[in-house]
Amino acid sequence: MPVSVYQIIKERLKNDCLLKEGQEQLTLFDIFNLPTLERPPVIYPITILKRQSLRKAGDRQELLQIQSRRYMGNKFKLSSFIREIIDRECEESSSICDIFAGTGVVGNGFNKNGRKIISNELLYSNYVSLYAWLSPEQFDMGKIADYIRMLNEINSVKENYVSQNFGGTYFTIENAKKIGAIREKIEELEVNFKEKCILLTSLLYAMDKVANTCGHYDAFRRTLDTVTPIKLLIPDVQQDKNSQNEIYNEDANQLVRKIKMDVLYIDPPYNSRHYCDSYHLLENIITWKKPEAFGVAKKMVRSDLKSQYCLKTAPRVFDDLIRNANCRYILVSYNNMAGKGNNRSNARIKDEAMISSLSKRGRVKIFETGFKSFTTGKSKIENHTERIFFCEVLRSIKG
């Protein structure tokens, strides 16, 4: 029976997809036992070897993944559904813009060599993390590993901004002191912007793991039982896929006027819960301006971070966004909570308004799936579905 080249390669490589310490990468010459004389010199892909050697590092650190974070409304579980729609409906998808990117998991799911992923976020803390995972700026992985090891070894007993404001509530006193000391240290290190973003992202994800909350920072839990010591991990940045990407920290409606892409993916906040209220603590520590923090929840002033999509203005700003989108296809994530939850969780844009805005630009289809949303545990909503509104753009911006 004829055997395909693919089967031969698969059989030979079996469990050897990742290089082991000291092991050479197999070439097609090895696989087919071709004479060695004709072999060109083997060039090892440096990033793979580095990632491999990090896995083998003495402290056996596991690498951090982009989705290893709790974030309200994140679409990690929905990303394969979004991919299916794009594969089925879009002829061209060589540039995709994730304009309300949050954690960046959707854009990351499409990230590959030769494709441009444009990611944008209003919150600076998310922008930093998007820059770490997806920007094309080069960085030194060995340096990152050394710095993360050093930051984990910091032993801080002194009070600082984090321990004074968030110790004993959101974090244990020990973790809060260490977070403050690590954050201060990151400011002093000799690193480029990408490296700084990678270190801050490592801290952000580590804080999320030990925070005494149910996933957001609107409040801390009464009993401080999250006592695990904080530990920073090395982010598994897939830099070889990032060469064309762009990252922005702008209001979506301003950015949309300046960019062009094949696919625009829109995942705005649905309701009146502002993300700056829920993630004030992470935003505060990542920006590190040490503002005064007020009230029981210790929030700083956030007036310049409020989103128009959480206000009554939402239908109008959504219409403006769609009107100015310079792209071939638009996908919008919006759930069906309108009128089903409590007042704060009711959707700001009604289906009719959304369809009306999209229909002005082209043909609209709605894709639906059952999907468990992130809830705070207060409101249990039955028959919750997540929908994707899809629009094939037929009318240009001026048309």
Which of 19, 64, 66, 75 touches ligand SAM (CB under 6 A)? 75
Number of residues that bind ligand SAM (CB under 6 A): 24
127 binds ligand SAM (CB under 6 A): no
Stretch that binds ligand SAM, among 28-36, 150-158, 233-241, 262-270 (CB under 6 A): 262-270
Stretch that binds ligand SAM, among 117-125, 291-299, 348-356, 377-385 (CB under 6 A): 117-125
Question: Least Å distance between CB 64 and ligand SAM?
Answer: 16
Distances (CA, A) of 340 to 67, 335, 347: 28, 11, 9
Stretch that binds ligand SAM, among 211-219, 228-236, 305-313, 362-370 (CB under 6 A): 305-313
Question: Least Å distance between CB 269 and ligand SAM?
Answer: 5
The residue number with the shortest CB distance to ligand SAM is 102
Which of 309, 334, 389, 390 touches ligand SAM (CB under 6 A)? 309
The Cα–Cα gap between 380 and 95 comes to 38
Q: Binding string to ligand SAM for residues 52 to 71, with x set by CB under 6 A, is what?
A: -------------------x
The Cα–Cα gap between 194 and 200 comes to 10
252 binds ligand SAM (CB under 6 A): yes
Token representation of residue 391: 């629009």
Which of 109, 235, 269, 341 touches ligand SAM (CB under 6 A)? 269
122 binds ligand SAM (CB under 6 A): yes
73 binds ligand SAM (CB under 6 A): yes
Closer to ligand SAM by Cβ: residue 19 or 327? 327
Which of 108, 111, 125, 126 touches ligand SAM (CB under 6 A)? 126
Near ligand SAM in 89-108, by CB under 6 A: 100-103, 105-106
216 Cβ contact partners less than 8 Å away, ≥ 6 residues apart: 70, 72, 278, 279, 376
Question: Least Å distance between CB 131 and ligand SAM?
Answer: 15
Residues found near ligand SAM in the complex (CB under 6 A): 71, 73-75, 100-103, 105-106, 120-123, 126, 251-252, 267-269, 275, 307-309
